[in-house]
């Protein structure tokens, strides 16, 4: 049986960050990853003629943990083409304007919705327990929209901007999710909008994964799905699907929240963690890439949360073709792999686009994720945020899904990995004094 100081389960950003930090602190680390690739919900694939981000896409210098990695590794960052046109729906008609026109149209609604975020959540980097935040957390985003007194057109436009952010039906998304996002940019919804959807790593986000993995002093084992964890105060054992067992003084579990409860854990997860995982996140939407015949002008388009595709925009543009990225609230709503169905969905705005190819990863059906990016359901933060971060014996947790500041983003994965590595390092210092390491460790 292999014995190490720390086993990290999962080689996404949270797991790799945890492993890098603990390896650099002198601990013997083993990373066990179920799949045959690194990165988890970062998944860059060369398709449709570009570095296609099937998973996480954009990042920003306002996201401090991930931007520190951009600086540390000298990663080149660029942006997609600026939209020259914007389409949205008003009084049953398609309006064609520019992006500034759309943003001005939704500005009053967005202000009503989230302008007080920084007051309601003054320190989004910490767990918020204030009464006003807790009250907001009980509401769905839909309930708040319903009370905003917007015209039908304003409401559709404002709502679908949030489908782009939340990637789920708005009645299943907590209002506090919107507050958390906007509090991270001090209450400025336009800044939040930019921070979450413009800049990308030029060579693909997998390069970020690869450079962090390259700095892990320890083994990273692919094709190693963990099926069982047994943990006690002084250490634990991890069993893989092939029956092999490894032992460590500390175990860090980085599984996405939606699949956490599916692992056989002894003693069982605390009831709050288990219920949070069983309830699941609100993140059941679709991210779809569409290659269309060119030339076209780069454009943005918004419909409503009820359409198959709520938001669409041009991410790459060439003379002969362009690659669009689209988001919908529900992955099960239409056959997004069918070119005819996608062409039909685009006709909401324009019938002059010829769809050549489509590409997507069905995250909601991926057994190693079962979700896109984490968005909490109403009440979930208040019920479970603090508990999800708490270790149980020698079993620790790290994931973007349980982060504070930019939870659900790359930044949150790194924040969570850094926090957990610090906690594990501190607890191992005490453990080495109590149970000294053997000469071969
Ligand atoms: C479609 C989509 C779009 C997104 N867009 C953005 C964006 O634009 N900007 C942004 O910042 N973020 C975005 N995100 C979110 C971001 O990608 C994630 O929050 C982040 O990558 C999660 O990192 P993680 O390490 O916490 O989890 P994961 O990346 O999910 O890592 C968990 C790892 O655990 C592994 N695993 C699971 N089960 C087992 C098991 N039993 N045994 C061993 N290993 C196991 C998984 O294979 C995976 O590698 C997006 C995500 C998706 C899916």
- Averaged pLDDT score across all residues of the chain: 95
Single out the residue of 51, 54, 59, 50 nearest to residue 42, CA to CA. 54
User: Does the Cβ of 58 fall within 6 Å of ligand 1?
Assistant: yes
Identify the residue whose C-alpha is closest to ligand 1 atom 2: 55
User: Does the Cβ of 15 fall within 6 Å of ligand 1?
Assistant: yes
- Which residue, chain included where needed, has tokens 């005819």? 340
Ligand 1 centre from 333 Cα, in Å? Answer: 23
Question: What is the per-residue pLDDT across 42-99, written as a single tens digit (0 to 9) for each?
Answer: 999 999 999 999 999 999 999 999 999 999 999 999 999 999 999 999 888 999 999 9
Question: What is the per-residue pLDDT across 205-250, written as a single tens digit (0 to 9) for each?
Answer: 999 999 999 999 999 999 999 999 999 999 999 999 999 999 999 9
Give the integer Cα–Cα distance in Å for 12 and 35. Answer: 10
Cβ 201 vs Cβ 59: under 8 Å: yes
Ligand 1 centre from 136 Cα, in Å? Answer: 27
Cβ 402 vs Cβ 257: under 8 Å: yes
Give the integer Cα–Cα distance in Å for 412 and 425. Answer: 20
Question: What is the per-residue pLDDT across 408-432, written as a single tens digit (0 to 9) for each?
Answer: 999 999 999 999 999 999 999 877 7
What is the position in ligand 1's atom list of the atom closest to the CA of 406?
11
Kindly give, in sequence order, each residue whose CB lies less than 8 Å from that of residue 408, ignoring residues fewer than 6 positions away. 283, 373, 374, 375, 400, 401
**In this structure, what token pair is assigned to residue 263?**
């692992």
- Domains within the chain, CATH numbers bracketed: 2-41+205-281+374-434 (3.50.50.60), 99-186 (3.90.660.10)
Ligand 1 centre from 369 Cα, in Å? Answer: 7
User: Does the Cβ of 38 fall within 6 Å of ligand 1?
Assistant: no
Cβ 8 vs Cβ 30: under 8 Å: yes
- Which residue, chain included where needed, has tokens 């997998």? 206
Ligand 1 centre from 40 Cα, in Å? Answer: 4
What is the position in ligand 1's atom list of the atom closest to the CA of 240?
42
User: Does the Cβ of 402 fall within 6 Å of ligand 1?
Assistant: no
Q: Is 136 left (phi over 0), alpha (psi -120 to 50) or beta?
A: alpha
Question: What is the per-residue pLDDT across 3-15, written as a single tens digit (0 to 9) for each?
Answer: 999 999 999 999 9
Whole-number pLDDT of residue 1: 83
Question: What is the per-residue pLDDT across 166-214, written as a single tens digit (0 to 9) for each?
Answer: 988 999 999 999 999 999 999 999 999 999 999 999 999 999 999 999 9
User: Does the Cβ of 287 fall within 6 Å of ligand 1?
Assistant: yes
């Amino acid at each position: 049986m292999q014995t190490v100081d720390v086993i990290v389960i999962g080689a996404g950003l949270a797991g790799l960050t945890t492993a890098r930090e603990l390896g650099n602190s002198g601990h013997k680390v083993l990373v066990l990853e179920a799949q045959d690739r690194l990165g988890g919900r970062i998944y860059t694939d060369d398709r449709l003629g570009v570095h296609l981000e099937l998973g996480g896409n954009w990042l920003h210098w306002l996201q401090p943990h991930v931007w520190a990695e951009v600086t540390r590794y000298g990663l080149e960052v660029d942006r997609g083409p600026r939209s020259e046109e914007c389409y949205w729906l008003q009084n049953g008609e398609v309006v064609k304007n520019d992006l500034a026109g759309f943003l001005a149209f939704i500005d009053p609604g967005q202000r009503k919705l989230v302008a007080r975020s920084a007051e309601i959540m003054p320190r989004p980097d910490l767990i918020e327990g204030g009464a006003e935040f807790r009250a907001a957390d009980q509401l769905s985003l839909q309930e708040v929209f319903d009370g905003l007194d917007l015209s039908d057109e304003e409401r559709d436009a404002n709502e679908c901007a949030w489908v782009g952010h939340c990637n789920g039906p708005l009645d299943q998304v907590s209002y506090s999710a919107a507050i958390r996002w906007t509090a991270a940019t001090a209450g400025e919804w336009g800044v939040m909008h930019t921070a979450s959807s413009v800049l990308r790593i030029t060579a693909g986000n997998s390069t970020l994964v690869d450079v962090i993995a390259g700095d892990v002093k320890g083994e990273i084992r692919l094709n190693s799905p963990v099926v069982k964890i047994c943990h006690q105060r002084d250490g634990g054992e991890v069993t893989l699907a092939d029956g092999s067992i490894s032992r460590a003084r500390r175990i860090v579990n980085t599984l996405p929240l939606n699949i956490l409860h599916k692992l056989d854990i002894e003693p069982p997860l605390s009831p709050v963690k288990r219920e949070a995982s069983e309830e699941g996140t609100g993140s059941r939407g679709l991210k779809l890439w569409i290659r269309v015949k060119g030339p076209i002008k780069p454009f943005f388009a918004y419909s409503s949360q009820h359409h198959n595709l709520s938001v669409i925009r041009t991410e790459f543009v060439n003379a002969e073709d362009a690659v669009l990225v689209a988001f919908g609230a529900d992955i099960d709503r239409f056959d997004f792999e069918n070119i005819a169905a996608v062409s039909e969905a685009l006709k909401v705005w324009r019938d002059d686009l010829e769809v050549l190819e489509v590409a997507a990863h069905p995250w909601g059906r991926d057994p190693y994720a079962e979700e896109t990016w984490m968005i909490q359901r109403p009440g979930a933060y208040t019920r479970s945020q603090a508990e999800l971060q708490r270790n149980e014996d020698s079993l620790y947790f790290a994931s973007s899904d349980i982060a504070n500041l930019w939870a659900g983003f790359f930044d949150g994965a790194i924040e969570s990995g850094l926090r957990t590595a610090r906690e594990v390092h501190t607890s191992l210092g005490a453990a080495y004094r109590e149970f000294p390491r053997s000469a071969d460790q």
